[in-house]
Amino acid sequence: MGNCCDRAGNFFGPQKNTNVRVSLPAVCFVWQIAMIVLFGVFIRYDEESDAHWVVHKRDHNITSDIENDFYFRYPSFQDVHVMIFVGFGFLMTFLKRYSFGGVGFNFLIAAFGLQWALLMQGWFHSLDHTTGKINIGVESLINADFCCAGSLIAYGALLGKVSPVQLMIVTLFGITLFAVEEYIILDLLHCRDAGGSMVIHAFGGYYGLAISWVLYRPNLHQSKRLNGSVYHSDMFAMIGTLFLWMFWPSFNSAITDHGDGQHRAAINTYLALASSVLTTVAISSMSQKRGKLDMVHIQNATLAGGVAMGTAAEFMITPYGSLIVGFCCGIISTFGYLFITPFLEKYFKLQDTCGVHNLHALPGMLGGFIGAIVAAAADESVYSKEGLINVFDFEGDFANRSPGTQGGFQAAGTCVSIAFGLVGGAIVGFILKFPIWGDPADDNCYDDEVYWEVPEDEETIPPVLEYNNHMIHKHQEISESNFSVEQS
Amino acid sequence: MGNCCDRAGNFFGPQKNTNVRVSLPAVCFVWQIAMIVLFGVFIRYDEESDAHWVVHKRDHNITSDIENDFYFRYPSFQDVHVMIFVGFGFLMTFLKRYSFGGVGFNFLIAAFGLQWALLMQGWFHSLDHTTGKINIGVESLINADFCCAGSLIAYGALLGKVSPVQLMIVTLFGITLFAVEEYIILDLLHCRDAGGSMVIHAFGGYYGLAISWVLYRPNLHQSKRLNGSVYHSDMFAMIGTLFLWMFWPSFNSAITDHGDGQHRAAINTYLALASSVLTTVAISSMSQKRGKLDMVHIQNATLAGGVAMGTAAEFMITPYGSLIVGFCCGIISTFGYLFITPFLEKYFKLQDTCGVHNLHALPGMLGGFIGAIVAAAADESVYSKEGLINVFDFEGDFANRSPGTQGGFQAAGTCVSIAFGLVGGAIVGFILKFPIWGDPADDNCYDDEVYWEVPEDEETIPPVLEYNNHMIHKHQEISESNFSVEQS
Amino acid sequence: MGNCCDRAGNFFGPQKNTNVRVSLPAVCFVWQIAMIVLFGVFIRYDEESDAHWVVHKRDHNITSDIENDFYFRYPSFQDVHVMIFVGFGFLMTFLKRYSFGGVGFNFLIAAFGLQWALLMQGWFHSLDHTTGKINIGVESLINADFCCAGSLIAYGALLGKVSPVQLMIVTLFGITLFAVEEYIILDLLHCRDAGGSMVIHAFGGYYGLAISWVLYRPNLHQSKRLNGSVYHSDMFAMIGTLFLWMFWPSFNSAITDHGDGQHRAAINTYLALASSVLTTVAISSMSQKRGKLDMVHIQNATLAGGVAMGTAAEFMITPYGSLIVGFCCGIISTFGYLFITPFLEKYFKLQDTCGVHNLHALPGMLGGFIGAIVAAAADESVYSKEGLINVFDFEGDFANRSPGTQGGFQAAGTCVSIAFGLVGGAIVGFILKFPIWGDPADDNCYDDEVYWEVPEDEETIPPVLEYNNHMIHKHQEISESNFSVEQS
């Protein structure tokens, strides 16, 4: 009771104003209204989701409704949707007192981001130049969810240290940068990146790290008491981990080619993830006294195989190739949590709450280069002539590109995504330094009480405690003590 | 420890007997046996799930097994199934000490309800008059799940205040009323209501509210200590919220037309939901001191866009139309939690535990009228001639109905659903007032201990407490105090 | 604080060394490397996931990519995947202090098991004798997940009493035995067992029980304080229960015949599960003072209907037949928790943490016999001539088998699975008795602190407690007491 107010009282040092009562609603309203206007001008149904489909079907001799792209992609879309909202959301609930912020702001970011992504990606990739409209279907929804993933990854580096208004800024710029780098990588460089090792993970990871680096808080140790998990918050985070882990095959296969493309991407991702789990457990156990496992590793590094397969999953990397990728990335990611994150914090002044460097940035970068190598090694004996064309889309302007050249472009694409992340993140970081966004004070990070009405939990006081309490008061009377009571 | 018994002792005032040891098993057995008998008489596989499918395929020149309706609808069915059991179930776990009842009774209601729904909906909609049998397939399962949703919504208004036996009564009548109003609205009035704004949400919401109004408890404040959340119970509720939110596109598209119908319904619902999130956050933040967000709003009002798109999702409402619907309903629903629920409680004697008025009744009603407007505005230029016929099913007896007329019938359908909810709920409420159903006393609501064996949680006492406890006993000895110990 | 270390200090009695810092990483690395080597030698993509699919399609006149098996089975695969990792994983989090172990070791077992299963099942079922390769596709992934389920069920009987190294041994042998008994039952005896009542549940259940019987701990009561749930751990377990319950129709239909086979299996399972819920509630309520429900029953026995339909789901068991199966198995399973488990523990020295006897072994065995009866009763009037051949695969060597004979073989198959479970489990149990695997001491079971870095939960101490604590210290000073403080 009084306690809550006391703690709240601490929030508002002279320099920090965390009141977002004007700014947060203003941003939400302005941006949502802008979305409505822009959707009104630009967004229409594509031919498979428009009521004219019945005519389109007849004109194109499509014999069955099952040929609608909806049936090829909707199950994968829903899996991706779960990853974005439950996967990323619950993975970020591990902090003992920032679970509301973890899952709630994730929800806000993604709900705004997917709208802006439909527009940005539409303008760059699917604008119909005849009508000036963007025609959307289920594949657009998947791509919009993917686009949000970049900003959600960035949130992982910032978790607990920024205000929801800042997160809306991060998302606005994150989606914008994403659409541009994606256009450069996929359209201009003609890279393949179905599961987004480059465009999602490497970009999102370095974007978040660059922002976090600019926003470095030298006195963050003042919030150290809250920068950790409790037993049940670790369990909530495992919900996020498992839904990410289970549905990653859908993530990497959601927008690959119909038929063998989706099929193979799912198999490769499934295998890489399985392999990651074993090496994560091995390294985690080796690193601790008595071989005890650390939940941070299990919650995160087990996913590294999925990140690293984002580019190569649709290629003929072979099942054992997938296992090797998972094997290595489980090790590297766990090492990252053990050594690289503390190192970066100490020597590079980089505070990375969720360790996105180890889960997204580094494995994403590796995934980009793995993709480059596998692409460069492709040949017709493995893919068949037509298969090679299908998988790498060697058609039109790119009909004469060789696998070796493709490998070079894939590697270049990876560098582009990292550059966009670092430069874009640095700029956005400086924007976020303006003292108007309502971010928390250093002694007030990782605390839901700053932005949420938090229930008071009085009922968790076990009965025996009330008994103690009663006894104490009795004692007080008896001993007639007069020391001053400092209620913490 | 003794404490549990002490609290249990309080449960049983002179007037209330919450012992359901005879009534609950009796109801479960009688109804389950009745289901078996009725299924034996009436329910058979339909032609797509019967082993004769191989013959049927040949007779109808169906070239591929993928044409079986199973492949069009099963992924959506599973998403709906998750919404019913995890979505509704976990959304109702937010109370600090009624999580078992929230998720457990939800489970019981739905498991009984879906069986009874297969029969009731079968008799009204798909009875084969030649054989006298109801032939079921995957679409029947989806409809049965939908039918349960009505009763689960009603449970939201009653949460914590009724016994499981009463809930079985609520479900029995709820399913029955649902099937009748659905028959009137969909078959007689020939309305379209794929996602059930009218038949599910408006009906279910008003049904629950009417029951709750009849069962008004003037002394419910005696349970006020338990009518709230704790930190972790709010997190469990977010699991429910997110699974509802993510899978709502499947809910609204599960039984729409194959092809563009399912595709468009999913897109529209996805957009409306995204828009709801932003306006919910905006209003929630505006309403609180220092702009803090309220978990109740985030858990509920973010879903209002999905409810309100239940009727119009399959229409050509346009993407920006969907955003506008979500925009408005997020605002209205959050306002409902802030002002309407307290108002209804104070002036209408209406106790609505989960605020189903704001999440289901009101957005459902709005959704019905939005559907009416969008239907009335339909024309061939937007839908194409054949598309218009497909979407509104202007065939057979209804071949000459105009969109304008259809709009009128849609509006009439909304009124029918509300009337059924209110009148049916009032009658069921009076049935539930009989003092034989084992409902809890006023000071005993929202408490799992009434109907569940609750673990004692002794282990949550932190070690330091045991130390205190030990110290206290020592002190007791030392000071030889003789005051009476009242264990709370 | 110091407390953690004190408790840790208790873990290491003279006779038990739970340090797995060498053994666990060694096992993980050795086995993962072995998997990579064996995959390199044996595992390739099948024709539907290989880039040659475009050629294969043309050669076989396949007109649409939607004919790829991926689209028939991938949605079911993902549901099964959720059951394995979230379903089984969270169901085992019910213990108050073994939730990390429940969900984490489940993750480890399944991630290793599915790789080994792809190899073992490949060698027995799908080795291409021309090339010496195993060609995998989405159906292989489902089968690998199924295979893991056997070992995860066994883990249920051992939960809290074994080390992760022992679990890797259990899994290695469990997968191996599974593949052999599956080969005998499905290939040699030509049984049908789509959802694995026999090969998964009866085998896995008896395998785990036999291991547990060999590993009997007479002094397990020393860990009694931790062998129970707390409020929130029961809620986490309900996540597991519900995802198992909801997706069981996918489990039983995932590898049945395309078309009516998958469709019918889903319907039958859906109905059996619904029926189980009502009888579980009935028996649970009857068995307790005042009719209170027991979470253990709701979490487990509600699933018995799905287990028991594992064999018969694809048969024409009729909808009411499914309800009857669920009705009986809900009763039997709940009775099992009430009477059989305590009986087995007392008189057979069998400690079964999760009660897998009641949820898997017994309903699995019943499911096998139910399948035998339904198979024996099959005739052409119900299935059609072709339907009968399709469902029971009466082709090739088995073209002349009658339904009656098939029933006999189904019953024999059930006995084979039980025999494999009991004998295999006994042997594995003896292997696990070697004192080198790092299993916990009797007073140290059900405790995550043995194998996990557990967060200290200091923040759960409510503020008032710190106040007490402060007061105590003051008192201490005042009364200058000198009694020795034993921090518990």
Closest CA to A248 of A320, A304, A331: A304
- If you write DSSP's letter for every residue of C64-76 in order, what string do you get? -GGGSHHHHHHHH
Q: Specify the DSSP class assigned to residue B160.
A: T
Residue A402 Cα distances to A197, A394, B481, C190, angstroms: 22, 8, 91, 50
Place of tokens 């004192």: C435
A128 strand-pairing partners:
A133
Instruction: Summarize the confidence of residues B175-179 as an average pLDDT.
Output: 98
Q: Answer positive or negative: Cα dihedral of A447, A448, A453, A456.
A: negative
Q: Specify the DSSP class assigned to residue B440.
A: P
Instruction: Summarize the confidence of residues C37-66 as an average pLDDT.
Output: 95
Closest CA to B91 of B256, B295, B278: B295
What is the C-alpha separation between B400 and B394, in angstroms, rounded? 7
Note whether A113 and A169 are within 8 A (CB). Answer: no
Main-chain dihedrals φ then ψ at residue B39, nearest 5 degrees: -65, -40
pLDDT higher than threshold 50 for residue A135 = yes
Note whether B321 and B269 are within 8 A (CB). Answer: no
Query: Which pLDDT value is given to residue B1?
Result: 33
pLDDT in tens, B12-61: 444 588 999 999 999 999 999 999 999 999 999 999 999 999 999 999 99
The two tokens of residue C339 are: 């009477």
Instruction: Summarize the confidence of residues C337-357 as an average pLDDT.
Output: 96
The two tokens of residue C169 are: 């041994």
- Record: contact B71-C67, CB cut-off 8 A: no
Cβ partners under 8 Å of residue A64, min gap 6? B67
Domains and CATH numbers, chain A: 21-450 (1.10.3430.10)
Main-chain dihedrals φ then ψ at residue B451, nearest 5 degrees: -120, 0
Of the partner residues B68, B75, B454, the one whose CB lies closest to the CB of residue C259: B68
Percent of chain B with pLDDT over 90: 88
The two tokens of residue B297 are: 């709003």
- Record: contact B66-C294, CB cut-off 8 A: no
Inter-helix orientation angle A403-432/A362-376, to 10°: 160
Residues of chain B contacting residue A108, judged by C-beta atoms under 8 Å apart: 277-278, 281
- Record: contact A21-B486, CB cut-off 8 A: no
How many C-beta neighbours within 10 Å does residue B288 have?
16
Instruction: Summarize the confidence of residues B231-254 as an average pLDDT.
Output: 98
Closest chain A residue by Cα to residue C39: A320
Query: Which pLDDT value is given to residue A46?
Result: 96
What is the C-alpha separation between C208 and C206, in angstroms, rounded? 5
Residue C81 Cα distances to A52, B32, B163, angstroms: 37, 31, 36
Neighbours of chain C (3+ CB pairs under 8 A): A, B
pLDDT in tens, A243-286: 999 999 999 999 999 999 999 999 999 999 999 999 999 999 99
Q: What angle do CA A26, A32, A35 make, to 5 degrees?
A: 140
pLDDT higher than threshold 50 for residue C3 = no
What is the C-alpha separation between C149 and A66, in angstroms, rounded? 33
Sheet containing A43-45: which strands, arranged edge to edge?
A: A43-45, A133-136, A127-128
> How many angstroms separate the CA of residue C424 from the nearest CA in chain B?
36
What is the C-alpha separation between B310 and B302, in angstroms, rounded? 15
> How many angstroms separate the CA of residue A117 from the nearest CA in chain B?
12
Place of tokens 């981990």: A241
Identity of residue A4: C
What is the C-alpha separation between A23 and A28, in angstroms, rounded? 9
By the 10 Å C-beta count (0-12 exposed, 13-18 middle, 19+ buried), A7 is classed as: middle
Q: What angle do CA C71, C74, C79 make, to 5 degrees?
A: 145
Percent of chain C with pLDDT over 90: 88
Of the partner residues A292, A316, A327, the one whose CB lies closest to the CB of residue C453: A292
Q: What angle do CA B459, B463, B465 make, to 5 degrees?
A: 100
Query: Which pLDDT value is given to residue A3?
Result: 35
When comparing pLDDT for B256 and B478, which is higher?
B256
Of the partner residues A25, A33, A45, the one whose CB lies closest to the CB of residue B264: A45
How many C-beta neighbours within 10 Å does residue A3 have?
16
Residues of chain C contacting residue A457, judged by C-beta atoms under 8 Å apart: 462
Residue of A11, A47, A53, A55 best to disrupt the B interface, most CBs of B under 10 A:
A53
Q: Dump strand ranges (E) for A358-467.
A: 452-453
Residue C31 Cα distances to A301, B479, C103, C414, angstroms: 19, 64, 21, 31
Closest chain B residue by Cα to residue A89: B242
Number of residues that make up chain B: 488
> How many angstroms separate the CA of residue A149 from the nearest CA in chain B?
15
Residue of A281, A296, A390 best to disrupt the C interface, most CBs of C under 10 A:
A281
Query: Which pLDDT value is given to residue C266?
Result: 98
Of the partner residues C270, C290, C479, the one whose CB lies closest to the CB of residue B21: C290
Residues of chain B contacting residue C275, judged by C-beta atoms under 8 Å apart: 32, 35-36, 111, 115
- Record: contact B75-A78, CB cut-off 8 A: yes
Residues of chain B contacting residue A43, judged by C-beta atoms under 8 Å apart: 319-320
Residue of C55, C65, C244 best to disrupt the A interface, most CBs of A under 10 A:
C65
pLDDT higher than threshold 80 for residue A323 = yes
Query: Which pLDDT value is given to residue C16?
Result: 81
> How many angstroms separate the CA of residue B272 from the nearest CA in chain C?
25
C44 strand-pairing partners:
C135
Of the partner residues A55, A82, A462, the one whose CB lies closest to the CB of residue B386: A55
Residues of chain B contacting residue A105, judged by C-beta atoms under 8 Å apart: none
Query: Which pLDDT value is given to residue B167?
Result: 98
What is the C-alpha separation between C131 and A320, in angstroms, rounded? 17
Neighbours of chain A (3+ CB pairs under 8 A): B, C
Main-chain dihedrals φ then ψ at residue B462, nearest 5 degrees: -70, 150
Closest CA to A264 of B395, C45, B209: C45
The 10 Å CB-count burial string (b at 16+, else e) for A75-103 is: bbbbbbbbbbbbbbbbbbbbbbbbbbbbb
Note whether A392 and A403 are within 8 A (CB). Answer: yes
Cβ partners under 8 Å of residue B477, min gap 6? none
How many C-beta neighbours within 10 Å does residue A351 have?
22
Q: Three-state SS for A128?
A: strand
Closest CA to B419 of B110, B177, B70: B177
Residue of B91, B290, B329, B471 best to disrupt the A interface, most CBs of A under 10 A:
B290
Closest CA to C278 of B168, B170, B21, B44: B168
C-alpha B83 chain-centroid distance: 9
- Record: contact C463-A274, CB cut-off 8 A: no
Instruction: Summarize the confidence of residues A90-112 as an average pLDDT.
Output: 97
Residues of chain B contacting residue A57, judged by C-beta atoms under 8 Å apart: 259
SS (H, E, C) A276-318: HHHHHHHHHHHHCHHHCEEHHHHHHHHHHHHHHCCCHHHCCCC
pLDDT higher than threshold 90 for residue C228 = yes
Of the partner residues C100, C468, C479, the one whose CB lies closest to the CB of residue A234: C100
pLDDT higher than threshold 90 for residue C468 = no
What is the C-alpha separation between C360 and C340, in angstroms, rounded? 13
> How many angstroms separate the CA of residue B434 from the nearest CA in chain A?
33
- Record: contact B455-C230, CB cut-off 8 A: yes
What is the C-alpha separation between C96 and C93, in angstroms, rounded? 8
Pairing of strands B127-128, B133-136: antiparallel
Lowest mean pLDDT among A81-90, A400-409, C181-190, C459-468: C459-468
Place of tokens 């909202």: A85
CB contacts < 8 Å between A and B, how many? 270
C-alpha C34 chain-centroid distance: 25
Q: Three-state SS for B452?
A: strand
The two tokens of residue A286 are: 């080796």
Cβ partners under 8 Å of residue C393, min gap 6? C190, C192
How many C-beta neighbours within 10 Å does residue B244 have?
26
Identity of residue B354: C
pLDDT higher than threshold 90 for residue A465 = no
Closest chain B residue by Cα to residue A54: B387
Query: Which pLDDT value is given to residue B383?
Result: 96
- Record: contact C282-B454, CB cut-off 8 A: no
Residue of B80, B452, B472, B478 best to disrupt the C interface, most CBs of C under 10 A:
B452
Note whether A452 and A104 are within 8 A (CB). Answer: yes
> How many angstroms separate the CA of residue A112 from the nearest CA in chain B?
7
The two tokens of residue A334 are: 């766990």
Query: Which pLDDT value is given to residue B126?
Result: 87
Residue A466 Cα distances to B158, B230, B461, angstroms: 31, 18, 12
Q: What is the mean pLDDT of chain A?
A: 91
- Record: contact A230-C455, CB cut-off 8 A: yes
What is the C-alpha separation between C266 and C319, in angstroms, rounded? 11
By the 10 Å C-beta count (0-12 exposed, 13-18 middle, 19+ buried), C436 is classed as: exposed
pLDDT higher than threshold 70 for residue B483 = no
Q: Specify the DSSP class assigned to residue B230.
A: -
> How many angstroms separate the CA of residue C42 from the nearest CA in chain B?
31
Residues of chain A contacting residue B460, judged by C-beta atoms under 8 Å apart: 460, 462
Of the partner residues A71, A226, A479, the one whose CB lies closest to the CB of residue C66: A71
pLDDT higher than threshold 60 for residue C474 = no
Of the partner residues C327, C383, C486, the one whose CB lies closest to the CB of residue B470: C486
Residue of B235, B252, B335, B482 best to disrupt the A interface, most CBs of A under 10 A:
B235
- Record: contact C71-B68, CB cut-off 8 A: no
> How many angstroms separate the CA of residue B431 from the nearest CA in chain A?
35
- Record: contact C20-A291, CB cut-off 8 A: yes
Query: Which pLDDT value is given to residue A16?
Result: 81
Query: Which pLDDT value is given to residue A249?
Result: 98
Residues of chain C contacting residue B17, judged by C-beta atoms under 8 Å apart: none
- Record: contact A294-C453, CB cut-off 8 A: yes
